[in-house]
Structures are given as structure tokens and as C-alpha cells.
Structure 1
Amino acid sequence: MKTASILLAAFALAVGPSAAAQDGMEPVPARQTAEGEGPFGKLVIRGANVIEGSGAPPAGPVDIVVEGNRITGLFPGAAPESATRGAAREIDARGMFVLPGFVDVHGHNGDPDKAPQPSYGYKLWLAHGVTTVRGVSFYFGPGTPDLSDAARSNANTIVAPRLIPYAVFGDKWTGGNPDTPTKAREWVRWAKAQGYWGIKFFNDATPEVFKAALDEAETQKMGTVAHLAQTGVAEVTAHKAVELGLDGVTHFYGHFESLLKDGRLVRYPPNYNYFDEQSRFGWVARLADQTVEPGSDEWNDYVDFLVASGVTLSPTFNIYSASRDVMRARSFDWHAKYTLPSLMDYYAPSATNHGSYYKDWSTEDEVAWRNFYQKWFALMRDFHHKGGRITAGSDPGYIYQTWGFAYIGELEMLREAGLTPLEVIRAATLDGARELYAARGEEPPMGRIAVGKLADLVIVPENPLANLKVLYGTGHTRMNRETGAVEQVGGVRWTIKDGVVYDAHQLLADVAAMVEAQEAKR
């Protein structure tokens, strides 16, 4: 991307890997015969407890009939023989729970330095029940492997979730910096013609250019989402961006700058340096001290404005959670077996790697972040309770957050923020799907368990409404009160994407083999 803009330079720093590094990513191998089964002429799932995604309570037992890649029958109790005759496969899900496939609205691939094979992340997503991912972007820089991956996934010729490709504003083309309204509209039309579903903004444009791009995106029926970085938030806060027509705000950026209690600009300390990531992220938590309090008139007016606008918020709470307790994040259960050594190297304190900012992380920093989260949780909770749509995004591959595991961590943090378990599942399924299809003016073909919907399903032996931890690939540790034995329970058993049945245990074994192979090379 050719530009002299300091905002775009900041974007390049923020996303981490260079365009050249992204060019070195390995191609995704073709799906092998043993990788997933189906789609089948007829698949029957027997005796499941169904959590259908809209917020309705669990119901079961239910037999689910799938033909090809669509759900064609839901039968409380048991399906008649006439509905199941000729089934090519049956899955015994008695006592298990079936949910719609999860939607991760904030995904990236790795880069050659940390996770060079995209199937590493794709398999981890699938192993955790994620059947749809919005890439913002999957790959940065010139070239469009994200479009190729999306097409191959749609055809089920690679092992991957359904991939919804967004492009970063100004990225990927050779037409220069879209720094005028006319040029912005031209870039949007170009991105649409390439096959991108939407645009990710980094506050790298003037308000006039931003407005033109958003207006053209609406005309082209493309979705828009923004990380409203500190480098541009003085001109475009979240309030301003939503006024201009933005569909979605991700992370926390732009919200607190919209709620300042004293003055129009953030008061940075004299030694603040955005390009020094410990300075940037260590200070972020102190921003909350400059904002109005939850429940104040200004706070409520802002929440009401967001709800009335129809904007969607995807907070990605998990991606910053290590800031509350970095020692815990370094020792997550899954790192030893499922996190690549190169990825652990990337996570370690670094002067260059994005998000690897714990160079001298103190108790004071962690306490500040814990306090910051309380205000951030309150904002999301108030927005949600007043009718706003919240979705689940994980932003994996940074800050000790490994693909798949990070997504379940996000669900746990949505629960911590105040959503009920059923509301968390809805955020992860139907609401996530609706966010992706809203700009197109379409009801999504997935996101809930209903006749006619795509067969995107998650089958789990344990009840996630009672304990979201049972969704982690490593499962949940508990003591059997009858035997006294310590057991590892849970984990997704099968993920069904587009009618193809994937054994989640095998997907995790494939990932563990990747980790072992890299360790052996070292």
C-alpha cells in the first residue's frame, strides 16, 4: 500500500506483519479423503438436546435430519422411519447438546514468522465449533489469497470454516492512497468487484473520505467495521463514525473518546508514544479515568444513540485479557500441546511484534486494566440490555490468544460482562450471522437450527449453558463426586460445516502434530 499518511503507517504497525511477510504464507492444502465426511444424501443426528440459537431454551430429545448441506427435518422425541430411511450416516447424540455453528466476526491468519500455514488456525476454529469467520483481513498486503481461500472453503475443498472476506480500506490494490472522496469511492467499487464482502477501517482517512467510503459501501451493499485507532480518533470518535454511517465498531477504541468528561481531546501524558506498544497499551486502561461514569446522563445518551443507530458492537474482550494477568495467559492449558513454538516466540515481549508489549508489565498496569474492564463491561452491558446487538469476535494470533481457544475465551468474557448464557450463544450464532448479512439486506442462511437453514452445527457432550468451559478443546477438569477421580470432560465432539462432519478430536490431533513437527525441527 503506497501512502505517506502517518495514520496508514500506524495501521501498518498495528496489524503487525508486513505485506512481504504475508506473501510468504504457505498455500492451504487440499482437503483429503479422511478429513471430514460428507455432505451426505441424508444424515441423521439422534436424540440431541437442541439449543437453536435465537435465545429459545434447550429442547430435547430431538432428531435432526440433514440432506446435503441443509436441515430438512426436526423431530421432537424421534423421527419417523420414513424420514430417516436411506440415511448414509447416523450420529448418536443422545444426552449431548447441539448448537448452531459459531460465528467469529473478527479473524486473521498468521504470518510466516508465527503461524505460516493457514490451516493451523482454520482447524483450530473448526475444532471449537466455529463454522463461519469474518476476516478483517485474513491476509494483509497485495494479492488476494483470502478470496481464493473463501472460494475453496465454500466448495469444501479445504478444511476451513466458511470464510467471509473483508479488505482493509486502501489495502490490496495498486491505485495509490484513496485520500479523496472520489478515490475512496473508486477503491470501494474495486473491492466489491474483487469479491470482498466488506471493509475494515483503521481511522486512516479524513472524515470527508471516511464518509464517502461508507456511503459507497452502503450503495454496494458491503458491510463496514472499524478499529478506531488513537491516531485518528481526535477527528473520528465512535460517535462520529456511527453518525457517518459505520455498521460496526470493534474493540473499545472510539467509545471512551466519545465519553470524555473534561474537554474534547484525550489528555495524554507527556511521555506517551503510540509507536511504543507498552506505552500505548499500558496507558489505554488509564483512559477510563477521563470519562463520565456509567449511569450518568452523558453515558446514557451515548448508549441510547448507539442503540438507535443500529450499530453492531464486537468488543473482542479476550484479546486484551492478558493485560489483567499476564502470568495466567502465558500458562494457558493449551499452549504446550496446541500453540506453535513460533507463536509462543511471537507472543513473548518484543520491540517489534504487535501485541507483544509486556516488556515491563507491573501490578499497577494489571490493576488499571482490571478497573478498565469494569467500565468497558458496563458500556457493553448497558448497550445490550437496551436492545443493541453484540457479536463474538476473537482477533486471534496476538497477545497469548491462540485460534479457537481465544473464541471460547471471548464467550466466557461476554458472560462476565453480563450477558446470560443463552444471550452469549445468541451473540455467537444468530446475531453474528445477522451482522455479516445485514449490509446485503439478507437474512443469513445459518445462525440457528431450523428447517431450511444450512447444516452448520456443533455437537458437544456437555451442556455449555451450565459451563462454557466445556467448549474448550482441552475440555474442563472436574472431580467425579462418586468415584473421587479427576476427569477431563467436554470439548466439541463434532463440528458440521455445510453438511460436512468433522471429528473435532481429529482436528486437534492434526494441530498437535503440527506443533510436534515444529518442535522436532528445532
Structure 2
Amino acid sequence: MKISRLLGVALALACAPATNAHAQELLAPAPERTAGEGEGPYPTLLITGVTVIDGTGTPPAGPIDILVKNNKIDSYYPGAAPADVRNSAARILDASGMYALPGFVDTHGHNGDPGKAPDATYGYRLWLAHGVTTVRGVSFQWGPGQPDVSDARRSEANSIVAPRLIPYAGFGDKWDGGAVDSPAKAHEWVRWAKAQGYWGIKFFNGYGADVFAAAFDEAEKLKMGTVAHLAQTGVAEVNARKAVELGLDGITHFYGHSESLLKDHAISQYPDDYNYFDEQSRFGWVARLADQVVEPDSEEWDEYIDFLIENEVTLSPTFNIYSASRDVSAARNRDWHARYTLPSLMDFYAPSATNHGSYYKDWTTEDEVAWRKFYRYWFDLTKEFHRRGGRVTAGSDPGFIYQTWGFAYIGELEMLREAGLSPLEVIRAATINGAREIYDPLGQEPPFGSLAPGKLADIVIVPENPLANLKVLYGTGHTRLNRQTGVIEQVGGVRWTIKDGIIYDAPKLLESVAQMVEAQKAKR
């Protein structure tokens, strides 16, 4: 193995999210779901009086009664269900005046670790409380022995309080078969990951094109999904264009795009004192790539977007996870931190020389201005890709950079809106698009992701209209002045999240998280 390849692999592993001291400790198992946690599933469940936003882009319609049998949507009844249907329902959920959407799909999830969020159900509950019924973990935890696959199976059986969990493994992670340093090893590792129960693979850079090509080839044969975080460690050799040519399915974050669109150089230009292992240097300077790329709407820009679409790539931008970079003070002082963010997680978020993502040790106005400019290019690329027919999904990458589970996901929806997607397009990205990204490698239409007869009963019910204001999806709700009474009101928040036909009371889930936070504060 060449020295350059060894260095690349080492750097790739270094940029995996779990870089704090607790990374390889095992997360405590999620406790069994108790009798009081969630209702159902019922033989027949009738949800009454909702306006349906079905996830496909179809405009809202209502009022509608939705009949669920066991764990599948059976029928729609515009106006109201007939008396015999109402009388035979085992449970009637009165949602009059509310809005029903498909369960949200988070395509970029991680769980905590013993250092920052030691209880596996902390993140699971926050996801569910924000309407997220499916999460693709990329990975949920790093290192061998973690409960990625076992929690996925327990969630499938509904024996734990958790969204549906779709486990991906980091390329080369988890096993004891040595470094994945050749095409033969790549084939072997992918077969091993499939046999363990992983649905797909998350790639970092640092491997040669031959290793990537072998892994993508084997993954396609085994119907496993592939997504990549094309970090600076190897992007000079494998940028987004090259990775797609080799067979990559999806690109997460912004990595690889700018390096595919450089206007004056073959590789990105960094200052002489740049140090990738110093995360302030890494993240401070990556925003300056906006000064090195071709202009939006230029011939090269348009050709690159067409290339991505022709190759059926999915973009999961995770705009939210870097949002502190353009206003760190705002991110540090979000109104949910006091009640719902664990003290240990706030410790992890604070500026640190070791914790991944806690890079703003001396974050300046110049850094924030550079990031605001970078976002304009990133937004433009994503919007135009989407406008031309490319698939965009919603992923939150929680647990880093002041992005707490659940809240971070709604933040991503707001940023997709900021990028230029319409509210209906944002909901589609959050539902059917995410479901299809997960199920496309299997060659199947997903069983969830839209509200229609025959689909699984993954449903989010919200008192306020999210198309008018996405902020009503936050667990803390939306602050609004009642102009008639002069009273400041807190409105919105998800009322119920239904996953696999089980009704979860979202405020009750949030209260259980608040109790976790208070217990940790008391222990301290």
C-alpha cells in the first residue's frame, strides 16, 4: 500500500464525526417501550377532520377522514367517514382543523455517544417529537459493537421508542478485517457489511479511485445505497464529479461540488499555514472556496448541474449543520437549548480543540461573512439542481455545532425554503424524496413517504399549517401576537406522530426529554 494511500485512509477516518474522547465507548441500549409510551396499533384507527398534505407536491385538501387498518392507510373519506365506518373504528383521533403530512424522513442521522448524549432514546424521542418517523443513520454510531443494526431491528418490532432506523455503515468501519486498502478488500468489506444487516454505505474521501469504484460496484450488485462526504482529505483526486462517474448514488453536505467547479486551478487553493486537523482552519477556509469557483449560470456551472441530473444523483445538503458558521451567537442561544439540550451536549458544542464541529475558537465577522457568501453559491446550486428535476432530500446531521436532534431537522426544512424550494417542495424533500433515496437501491417504491391508501401509517399531525409557516413544526412552537386579545401566544408544535400505526403524543415525548435534561442538571 502506497504511503499516500495510507495517509489518505488515516485522514478519512479522522474526519468521521465521532472524534471526541468517548467515540469508541458503547452507547447504553435503548430501554424497552413501556405500555404508556404510544397507543396502538389499532385494528382500525380513524383520523378525522384533517387537511391532507400528501408529500407528493399535490396541493392540500380537506377536511378528510383517514381510515387506518392495523399499520396501513386503508381509505380517504372527503368531508367525513360514513357512520358505519365511525362506529366500527377501534380508535377515533379527533384532529379537526389540523394538518396531516407523511412522517418525515431524515436522510442524515447520527445518534449520541456516552460523552455528549449517553441515552440512545434522547435523540430518538426528539426525532419523533418533530414528526420524523424514519432516519437513515450514516452511521448512527462509529466503531464496532455499536447498536446500529440491533436498534434498527428493535425499532422495526416497535419494542423501543424510536423512528424507523435505516443503518448505513461508514466505509471500512465496524469490522476487524483490517484496512480496506485495495479493490479486493473493498469488495470483501461491502459483502461483510451487507451480511451484518446494513442497508448502505457512507463514504469519506482518502481512498483511491480504484477502491471507490470496487466498493460502488459491489454495493450496486448487493442493492446497497451509497452516499459520500467528499472531504478535503482526498477531494483533489476524487471530487463530486469523479465520484459520480465511479458510481456514487448521493452526495451529502457541500463537499466535492466546489472542487468540481474551480475556475482558475485544478485543485483548491489554501493558505500556507492551513492545517486540516485544526478545525477552525478547516471550516474557516472551506467557505473561501466561494471565491475560487465559476459563477452561477455560467456554462461550466450549468454543465455540472446537468451532469449530476443525468447521473440520477441525490443531494442531501444538510444546510443546517453549518448554519452556526454564519451566526454562531444565534446558534448558541436557540430558545430550545435551556429545556431540551442536555448540559453534556452543550459542553460538547462549546469551542474545543478536540470535539468535531466545535471549531469556532476565534470565530470572526470575516469568517461569518465568508460563510454567508458560500451559502449563496450553495443555495443557488441546490435550487437550480432541484428546478431541473434533481432530487433533494432533508438531512440534519444532528449532535454537532449547536444542532440538537429534531430541532435541527426543522431548521433544515427552513433552510431548504431559504435556498428557494417552495413550501410544498420542502415537504416533498422531507417525505417522498427521502423515502425514495432509501429505497431506490433496492429497486422498490417505498412503503412510506406519502399519504395514500396502501402506504404505511406514518403520519404527522400538526395544529397549524406548516406551508404557511415552517416554524410551527418546532417542538417549542411559534411565538405569535394575538391581535384581537393582545396576548402573546405559543402556537404549533407537532401534536401527534404516528409511526407504524402507533400514536405518539409529541408534547409528552418532549416532556420526557425535558426530564432527562433536568435529571442531568440535578446530577451535576
- Relative to the length of structure 2, the TM-score reads 0.98
Contact 1:29/1:158, CA 8 A, preserved across alignment? yes
For residues 14-72 of structure 1, the C-alpha deviation after alignment (integer angstroms, 9 at most, x for no partner) is 21346963433111000011100110111110010000000000000000011111101
Secondary structure of the 1:481 match is coil
For residues 331-380 of structure 1, the C-alpha deviation after alignment (integer angstroms, 9 at most, x for no partner) is 00100000000000000000000000110000000011001100000000
- Name the CA distance, whole Å, in 1 between partners of 2:7 and 2:52: 51
Q: Please list, as runs of the form range in 1=range in 2, the aligned pairs for 1:488-499 lying within 5 A after superposition.
A: 488-499=490-501
Letter in 1 for 2:407: F
Which of these residues, 27, 34, 40, is aligned with residue 42 of structure 2? 40
- Bigger shift: residues 21-30 or 292-301: 21-30
Which of these residues, 250, 253, 262, is aligned with residue 252 of structure 2? 250
Secondary structure of the 2:65 match is strand
Letter in 2 for 1:13: A
Matched, 1:334 2:336: yes
- Name the CA distance, whole Å, in 2 between partners of 1:22 and 1:357: 21
Matched, 1:10 2:11: yes
Question: Per-residue deviation at 1:192?
Answer: 0.6
Matched, 1:270 2:298: no
Which of these residues, 380, 403, 406, is aligned with residue 408 of structure 2? 406
Structure 1 match to 2:105: 103
Question: Per-residue deviation at 1:204?
Answer: 2.9
Matched, 1:469 2:484: no
Secondary structure of the 2:259 match is helix
Structure 1 match to 2:485: 483
Structure 2 match to 1:216: 218
- Bigger shift: residues 73-82 or 367-376: 73-82
Q: Please list, as runs of the form range in 1=range in 2, the aligned pairs for 1:69-468 lying within 5 A after superposition.
A: 69-468=71-470
- Name the CA distance, whole Å, in 2 between partners of 1:371 and 1:78: 50
For residues 267-286 of structure 1, the C-alpha deviation after alignment (integer angstroms, 9 at most, x for no partner) is 11101000000000000110
- Bigger shift: residues 343-352 or 83-92: 83-92
Contact 2:202/2:227, CA 8 A, preserved across alignment? yes
Letter in 2 for 1:6: L
Letter in 2 for 1:518: Q
Question: Per-residue deviation at 1:84?
Answer: 3.2
Question: Per-residue deviation at 1:261?
Answer: 0.2
Secondary structure of the 1:439 match is helix
Matched, 1:57 2:59: yes
- Name the CA distance, whole Å, in 1 between partners of 2:370 and 2:19: 29
- Name the CA distance, whole Å, in 2 between partners of 1:338 and 1:145: 24
Contact 2:203/2:229, CA 8 A, preserved across alignment? yes
Letter in 2 for 1:487: E
Question: Per-residue deviation at 1:87?
Answer: 1.6
Q: Which 5+ residue runs of structure 2 have no aligned equivalent?
A: none
Residues 518, 356 of structure 1: alpha-carbon distance in 2 compared, 3 angstrom cutoff: same
Question: Per-residue deviation at 1:493?
Answer: 0.2
Contact 2:22/2:113, CA 8 A, preserved across alignment? no
- Name the CA distance, whole Å, in 1 between partners of 2:407 and 2:6: 36
- Name the CA distance, whole Å, in 2 between partners of 1:6 and 1:19: 22
Secondary structure of the 2:377 match is helix
| Number of aligned positions between the proteins | 520
For residues 275-323 of structure 1, the C-alpha deviation after alignment (integer angstroms, 9 at most, x for no partner) is 0000000001101100000000000000010011100000000000000
- Bigger shift: residues 71-80 or 126-135: 71-80
Question: Per-residue deviation at 1:88?
Answer: 1.8
Contact 2:379/2:419, CA 8 A, preserved across alignment? yes
For residues 188-235 of structure 1, the C-alpha deviation after alignment (integer angstroms, 9 at most, x for no partner) is 111111110000000131100100000110000000000001001000
Contact 1:17/1:111, CA 8 A, preserved across alignment? no
- Name the CA distance, whole Å, in 2 between partners of 1:362 and 1:407: 26
Letter in 2 for 1:442: Q
For residues 437-478 of structure 1, the C-alpha deviation after alignment (integer angstroms, 9 at most, x for no partner) is 000000000000000000000000000000000000000000
Contact 2:20/2:355, CA 8 A, preserved across alignment? no
